Copies of this chain bind each other. A is one copy, B any other.
Amino acid sequence: MQKFGFIGLGIMGSAMAKNLARAGFDVTVWNRTPEKCAELAALGAKIAKAPRDVVQGCPITFAMLADPAAAEAVCFGPDGALTGIGEGRGYVDMSTVDAGISRRIAEAVTAKGGRFLEAPVSGSRKPAEDGTLIILAAGDRSLYEEATPALEKMGKKVLYLGEVGNGANMKLVVNMVMGGMMSIFCEGLALGEKAGLDRSDILEVIDAGAMANPMFRLKGGLIDKGDYTVAFPLKHMQKDLRLAVNLGDNMKQPLYSAAIANEVFKKAKELGFGEEDFSALFKAVQG
């Protein structure tokens, strides 16, 4: 029975760690607010006192923090993960951070003899609970292989993408495409309605053709109901578009459609929809 550490038990991390515990792995967890550990303990997980203890007690530790600042604090802070890293230890950061931070953590871990894998995920609460995330792993290949039995309990699709930074960049690319699709989708809905078409007809036609996809189906239905309950916040989508456009700057890749989608999302943010679901873009497009 493989032994794994898991740091960070927020909405995502908690669901993911449970999937490891339920799969029968020997799991040790840590969370900043210890209350969140109870559910895991009920499933047989051990509770550690600090990130350092998790890392010292397990050959491979996963981390899933809410944002880049938390990911850095858990790694570099007092009693942080880094202080527990030793020869051959594996540290798998599944938080969403940019390529720069990821490389910084990778350097620190390998400088202490450890092995590092970044493994951001695509998918939110539901896929985390169902173990159907898409996992974008990049970094140490041997660690990737040893971690695979656990990763496969958390995701339905696990890809190894090469060097550290590729996971973060892949996530940007994917989210950029998602943002651009949402922008043209909302424009299509708004245009069709102004031209006298029924919204439900437009949704039905799109869903019957080669463009049919789960996102249009789900978000189209919610837009139709005016339900913008947040699944992926609009402001985060805008931030990802901005980062993608800036990545394009660095790579000398013009991104006309992405740059404009970024401005359209910015307009929606200016109108006060930043905390709603990213499909609230429709309200800004419709005017």
Residues of chain A touching chain B, judged by Cβ–Cβ distance below 8 Å, are: 122-123, 134, 136, 156-157, 159, 161-163, 165-166, 169-170, 173-174, 176-181, 183-185, 187-188, 190-192, 194-198, 201-202, 204-206, 208-215, 218, 238, 242, 244-249, 251-264, 266-267, 269-271, 285, 287
Please judge, given known A-B contacts A122-B205, A253-B270, whether A188 and B170 are in contact too, CB under 8 Å.
Answer: no
Most chain B Cβ neighbours within 10 Å, of A177, A183, A259: A177
- What's the Cα separation between A191 and B253 when bound, in Å? 6
Contacts of A202 in B (CB 8 A): 170, 173-174
- What's the Cα separation between A97 and B187 when bound, in Å? 22
Q: Is the CB of A177 within 8 A of B159?
A: no
Contacts of A255 in B (CB 8 A): 187, 191, 263, 266
Contact of A215 among B170, B195, B210 (CB under 8 A): B210
Please provide the 5 A-B residue pairs with the shortest distance between their CB atoms, ordered closest to farther: A180-B184, A213-B213, A194-B251, A177-B188, A210-B215
- What's the Cα separation between A259 and B161 when bound, in Å? 31
Q: Is the CB of B258 within 8 A of A187?
A: yes
Most chain B Cβ neighbours within 10 Å, of A169, A210, A267: A210
- What's the Cα separation between A213 and B264 when bound, in Å? 24
Contacts of A178 in B (CB 8 A): 210-211
Contacts of A264 in B (CB 8 A): 254, 256-257
30 inter-chain pairs at a CB distance below 8 angstroms, sorted by A residue, are A122-B209, A123-B209, A156-B208, A159-B201, A159-B205, A161-B201, A162-B196, A162-B198, A163-B196, A165-B196, A169-B192, A174-B188, A177-B184, A177-B185, A177-B188, A179-B184, A184-B258, A184-B261, A187-B257, A191-B253, A191-B255, A194-B252, A210-B213, A210-B215, A248-B266, A252-B266, A253-B270, A254-B263, A256-B260, A271-B287
Sample of 19 further A-B pairs with CB below 8 A, known A191-B253, A245-B259, A246-B246:
A161-B201, A162-B196, A174-B206, A176-B187, A177-B184, A177-B185, A183-B257, A194-B251, A194-B253, A211-B213, A211-B215, A242-B246, A245-B245, A249-B266, A253-B266, A254-B270, A256-B263, A259-B259, A259-B263
Count of identical protomers in the assembly: 4
Task: Give the interface SS of chain A, mostly helix, strand, loop or mixed.
Answer: helix
Q: Is the CB of B211 within 8 A of A195?
A: no
- What's the Cα separation between A166 and B167 when bound, in Å? 38
Contacts of A159 in B (CB 8 A): 201, 204-205
Q: How far is the CB of A276 from chain B (nearest CB, A)?
A: 15
Q: How far is the CB of A212 from chain B (nearest CB, A)?
A: 6
- What's the Cα separation between A269 and B255 when bound, in Å? 13
Contact of A170 among B165, B180, B197, B267 (CB under 8 A): B197
Contact of A214 among B176, B212, B263 (CB under 8 A): B212
